[in-house]
Structure 1
């Protein structure tokens, strides 16, 4: 058994353990942060537990690294989320149920935000990058599963992390690259999500198959898009999809690894040639 397979099996056994804890002790339980491929594996485990109420949560709707969160029956979700909760899976919308639940119940939130900024007037030789922040965090001996998305801005970054390491970070973390940082812990409700550059595009597609839409969004051939899907490079709403004929719908978030992200904003009517009008935002 290769190392990746061992790591996957260990992760899946941890997920089963968290599910049992939730059911046996009637409490909210979570995993560490998972990447998109790991979320897909976790989804497969969760679907085997009938009636399990769970979500993937990373602090904001478009998070790439997310925890699997398991909710006992006593947790109530308002409005339209109540029906989704009864059916099991809670995420899948841009502002999903878990984000809303933890905004309303911050005492239960398993995440914290470490805000890192360069002191005013400090000399910084270059703009710090995601790699600078992540490298310095890993250099503290932290496991990757304890760190979520790192949202970089011009003056610093907001670092999503497991709440259990908040005090450790505030005490031990103080430098990224060669730059010293001023740190503070802020609630997830105050998270700053940088406004990324985006390009709006309209097109027509033969159908709403995933490979058709990926080809249109990322300006590649349909055969190339299909190969990317089968190769595990395409994610829809944060989950890996490997069937090119999978249908997509308005509002879906699409990722082609190595090429970027997009949101299918609108599905319109058909043209005279029976093609379907689509409009999407591609994040550059």
Structure 2
């Protein structure tokens, strides 16, 4: 019996247009798996996309799935989808890791520099997994299809010549990103107030960033300035970087709320 997916129904609860499109594309792959008994995989998805996709895949019979980003703490991952008579060990990995090194002694280079340089070669964000900055180099995870293309075409990052080589995942050791802790005071736990204090910008500026869909909390696009982030929420702001809202600490004598945030250095 042929199983027909009602994709519109499966994503009907999703209000975010971009997320709905991503999930619908993933369901196209699921449909192919069911009809043709083949193994398929998505492009790289962030944790919010993965969470929503898994909630849908759980409702579909005759398939199995697993996610992989190359190392245990990976944020961005590929979802492999296949008939349920396969096991994860049967599935060929479709991702590679490239190590990039260069003489950045006189130039501070961060995550955005690496990502921007890679995307300038024509790769889209969904083709690229995590970018891990360690003391001995930068490790880029990407779809295996683009491995050789990146190695042969990337010459510079921030005008610094770089060397590239494929790297074995088994030899990779994850290093937690460096961050600084800051205690700041806010009038409320609203998102716009937190952004204003964390990035030292006006409340109006932070509201405009949210309104223009430049702010994500735990990878979800947030459109309401009134939303209060939960403890340990990851907040990313386009053009400004990423912070972790750790938690509220105490009340000040002027009845303001003192909060603790972490700012990534790179």
What's the TM-score, normalizing by structure 2? 0.63
Which residue in 1 is equivalent to 2:127? 146
Q: Secondary structure at the match of 1:32?
A: coil
What's the TM-score, normalizing by structure 1? 0.59
Alignment of 1:183 with 2:193, yes or no, is no
Return 5+ residue gaps in structure 1 as ranges. 1-6, 75-101
Which residue in 2 is equivalent to 1:97? none
Which residue in 1 is equivalent to 2:12? none
Aligned partners of 1:116, 1:228: CA distance in 2, in Å? 33
Residues 103-252 of structure 1: matches in 2 within 5 Å?
110-117=94-101, 131=113, 135=117, 139=121, 145-152=126-133, 156-166=137-147, 168=148, 172=152, 175-176=155-156, 179=161, 181-187=163-169, 190-193=172-175, 195-196=177-178, 198-252=179-233
Return 5+ residue gaps in structure 2 as ranges. 1-17
How far off is 1:21 after superposition? 4.6
Change in Cα spacing, 1:217 to 1:133, as seen in structure 2 (3 Å) is: closer
Question: For the Cα contact (< 8 Å) 2:38–2:82, is it kept in 1?
Answer: yes
How far off is 1:161 after superposition? 0.7
How far off is 1:268 after superposition? 2.9
Question: For the Cα contact (< 8 Å) 1:30–1:67, is it kept in 2?
Answer: no
RMSD: 4.8
- The C-alpha deviation readout for 1:163-208, integer Å capped at 9, x for no partner, is 3444x35874574467362513221771555744x33211233332
Change in Cα spacing, 1:154 to 1:201, as seen in structure 2 (3 Å) is: closer
Question: For the Cα contact (< 8 Å) 1:158–1:191, is it kept in 2?
Answer: no
Question: For the Cα contact (< 8 Å) 1:115–1:185, is it kept in 2?
Answer: yes
Question: For the Cα contact (< 8 Å) 1:124–1:179, is it kept in 2?
Answer: no
Change in Cα spacing, 1:158 to 1:265, as seen in structure 2 (3 Å) is: same
Which residue in 2 is equivalent to 1:257? 238
Change in Cα spacing, 1:214 to 1:250, as seen in structure 2 (3 Å) is: same
- Provide the aligned length of Structure 1 versus Structure 2: 237
Q: 1:33 aligns with which of 11, 26, 44?
A: 44
How far off is 1:220 after superposition? 2.3
